[in-house]
Each structure stands twice: as C-alpha cells, then as structure tokens.
A = this chain, B = another copy of it.
Amino acid sequence: MARTPEEFRTKQQIDVRVLHEVVGIDPKAGRVRVVDLSANREWWEPYDHLLIATGAVPLRPKVPGADAAGIYGVHTLESGIRLRKILDESRPARAVIVGGGYIGLEMAEAFLLRGMQVSLVEKAPQVMGTLDEDMAVHIAQALTDRGVTLHLNEGLEAFEVRDGRVRAVITSQRSLETDIVLLGMGVVPNTDLAREAHIPLGERGAVRVDRRMATQVEGVWAAGDCAESFHRLTGRPIHVALGTVANRHGRVAGMNMAGGEASFSGVLGTAVTRICSLEIARTGLQTRELEALGRSFVSRTIESHTRAGYFPGSGRIHVKLLADSDTGAVLGAQIVGEEGAAKRIDVMAAAITAGLTAQEVSELDLGYAPPFSPLWDPLIIAARLLAKDAP
C-alpha cells in the first residue's frame, strides 16, 4: 500500500488522490488507526461498523532479479494507466508474460494489438487453469495462431538484469530476451490488517465471513477480493477475486451495515474473457474440482458453430458440459469459441443454479435464427449427448 500521497488522473479525467491510510484495527475498542499522508499525522478513529475492503495484491515471484525495472503488473487502474504510458512512450518491441490466466491472456491481446512480439511462460501444462486441459488446448492453439510463443511446463527461475533493468526471463528450459515483463501470476487477498487485528482468516488467507459478509468479530465486515465467498454447488468456502463477486459482496455488506438484511447467494465460478476474437467462458465445477470432491460425473465435449453454418461470420465453438452421474444434474460448463460463444455460459449458470439435468437442458426452448445460432444451439447438442450418459 502507498506510504506517500499518490495522485493520478484516469482516462475519464478524474483526479485520484490518496490522502489517508488505515494502518491498524483495534476491534475491541472499535477504532482504526488512521494516517494522514500529507500531514504526517496519526490518530484513532472510532467506528460502529467497519468494512474491510482491502482487495487483493498480485503475487510477485520470489526469484533473483524480481525487483528490476521493466517488470510490471496490472492490478489497479493506476498500474494499468502507468503501463500504457510506458508502452506509448518507450514502444518496447518484445514482451514476456509470466502466467497464462485471465490477466496474462488479456495482456497478450493488448500487446499483440500494439504489434509487439509476445512470449508467454506458464509453469502448468496448460493455459487458463480454470478450464479443463482438453478445452484449454483450443486457447493455446488460438494464441499460437495469433503469434504468441507459448512456453508451457516452464517455471520462472530468474530475471536477467542489466543496469537495474530486466533483459531476459530465465525459465527452467531457456532464456527469453525481452524489453518488458508482465506478471499475471494471480492475486492473494490483502489481509495483513485483518490478520494483525486477529480477525479470523479462511480460504487462501481471505477474511472469513458468513453469508451476511460479517467477519467473526462483532461490528467488522469484509467484502471484495479480500473476503471469502462460498460456492453455490458445494456450499464450501472459496476465494474468487472477480469484479462481479466483489460488487455483490459490497452490496450485501452495505445493506447489512445500514441495518437492512441481505444474504450473499454465493458464486458459481462463472467467468468470461476474450483474447482477440477468441471467447472463453466457464461456470460451475471443472474436472479437477469434481475429482477433488470425489464426485462421480460424466462429461461431453462437442464442436459446433456460433451461427447457422451458412451465415456470414459463423465461427467455431467448443462446448464441454459436466453432469452428476447419478442425478444427471449439470455441474459445470466450459466454452471456447468465436464471436457469440462466451455469453452462452449464462444459460448454463442459470441451469446449474436451478439444478436442471442434462436432459432438461437438452429440452430448453432456446432462441434460433441464422445470425445467432445453428438450428440446434451448441448447448443443446452438448446436453443431448451428455444426457445419454447421465439419467
């Protein structure tokens, strides 16, 4: 967190100034320690209700050279603005991205659009670990097709630094010369303040909360990337650092803090993203999660089209559905495809939330017209096949 006043201007010409910082919580006395960054003054500020909304911090690699100049992350509006300024001014030709998740892939697109040469290093055997490996291969293929050099199964070992500036990324396999490095290694809940105040933490170090977003300490609430969620399908705590979830957290916490009554309805793990023209979406539980839970399940993967095959702009779409072997209830869905693919995931989010079976999904009366879908929507095709394996 900032230790000096910070100022920056957003694209929308909004001046942002960080003037105060909370450096400690005293829940027993119901007060927080506030620092006035411009006046170098500190005091205790009392509260009736306290909301911890400290967000998350990006994971930084603990390898030699990690503090060198030229290594960037994008986790705040400000860090994005800074990076864009650097790209505009110094026009680097080469970028290495460390991490093949949402941020890594979205930044790969941004770099490609600027005509940069992009390499991506990922220690796992696949990009986008929130999808199953057989679906992630389509993403990898699309990245390669668009000019990204992928290095999977390669751990980051060090950064080569010259004159204080990163010159190369050293992986377990090779050395990649580069002008800049972008870190997309994920985030961890920013819960130092909570931990120091003995407010109990839970999943992955996020602040433990109930469905009202109340922590286990009277009068203290938490919301956003620093707080736990729970999974709608498993009921178990889960940490999801996404804007939609944070926003829903905040709404529930705010209503309860203001004397109302609201309950967080949980997350299904729905996420969508786009890399160039490739759309990626997922919801529910993936194979790895179902296996970890010891659930008995079946899955089917199909390839179809986003529109009627003869319609201009019709593109490929891959759909994977997973269902409970015993009940047939759909448990998860993954989609990778061209324009029009991703938001189809919302149908499955509704279906999974409602407990629909694969057979029931296959019988849904979905909209058809040539600009929008083949006669049988890809979801129907996948569900119909899946229903053959599940009751």
Chain B nearest CB, measured from A243 CB (Å) = 6
Most buried by B among A343, A344, A345: A343
A349's partner among B232, B245, B355, B367 (CB-CB below 8 A) is B367
Contact partners of A371 in chain B: CB under 8 A: 274
Residue of B with least CB distance to A343: B372
Interface status of A375 (Cβ within 8 A of chain B): yes
Which stretch from A26-34, A145-153, A174-182, A265-273 is at the chain B interface? A265-273
Which of A247, A266, A344, A353 is most buried by chain B, counting CB atoms within 10 A of its CB? A353
Number of interface residues of A (CB under 8 A): 51
CB distance from A265 to the nearest CB of B (A): 4
Q: Which residues of B contact A356 (CB under 8 A)?
A: 350, 353-354
A364 B376 Cβ-Cβ under 8 A: no
- Any chain B CB within 8 A of the CB of A351? yes
**How many of these chains are in the complex?**
2
**B-contact bits for A259-291, CB 8 A (1 contact / 0 none):** 000000111111111100001010100000000
Neighbouring B residues of A279 by C-beta, 8 Å: 372
Is A340 interfacial (CB-CB < 8 Å)? yes
**Interface contact A346-B349, CB-CB below 8 Å:** no
Given A369-B272, A375-B247, answer yes or no on A364-B350 (Cβ-Cβ < 8 Å). Answer: yes
Q: Which B residues lie within 8 Å of A365 (CB)?
A: 232, 244-245, 266-270, 283, 349, 353
Neighbouring B residues of A376 by C-beta, 8 Å: 247
Assembled-state Cα–Cα distance A161/B279 (Å):
54
Question: When chains A and B are docked, how far (Å) is the Cα of A347 from the Cα of B348?
Answer: 8
- A281 vs B266: C-alpha distance when bound (angstroms): 29
How far does the Cβ of A356 sit from chain B's closest Cβ, in whole Å? 6
Using a CB-CB cutoff of 8 Å, which residues 339-391 of chain A contact chain B? Answer: 340, 342-347, 349-351, 353-356, 360-361, 363-369, 371-373, 375-377, 379
How many angstroms between the C-alpha atoms of A365 and B367 in the bound complex? 21
From B343, B354, B363, B366, A367 is in contact (CB under 8 Å) with B343
Residues of B within 8 A of A343 (CB): 340, 343-344, 367, 372-373
A242 at the interface (CB under 8 A from B): yes
Name A240's closest neighbour in chain B (CB-CB).
B365
> With a CB–CB cut-off of 8 A, which chain B residues contact A267?
365
Q: Is the CB of B274 within 8 A of A346?
A: no
**Docked CA distance A344–B340 (Å):** 11
B364:A353 contact, CB within 8 angstroms: yes
Q: Digit string of A18-37 for contact with B (CB within 8 Å is 1, else 0)?
A: 00000000000000000000
Residue of B nearest to A359 (CB): B265
CA gap between A365 and B245 in the complex, in Å: 8
The answer to whether B344 touches A353, judged by C-beta atoms less than 8 angstroms apart, is: no
Q: Which residue of B lies closest to A377 (CB)?
A: B346
Q: How far is the CA of A281 from the CA of B351 in the complex (A)?
A: 19
Give chain B nearest CB distance to A290 CB in angstroms: 18
15 extra A-B contacts, CB within 8 A, seeds A346-B366, A346-B367, A354-B356:
A232-B365, A243-B375, A244-B366, A247-B376, A270-B366, A272-B367, A272-B372, A272-B373, A273-B369, A342-B367, A342-B369, A345-B367, A346-B347, A346-B377, A350-B351
Q: Rank and list the top 7 A-B pairs by shortest CB-CB distance, nearest first.
A: A354-B354, A272-B367, A265-B363, A268-B365, A350-B350, A270-B365, A244-B368
Residues of A within 8 A of B (CB): 12, 232, 242-245, 247, 265-274, 279, 281, 283, 310, 340, 342-347, 349-351, 353-356, 360-361, 363-369, 371-373, 375-377, 379
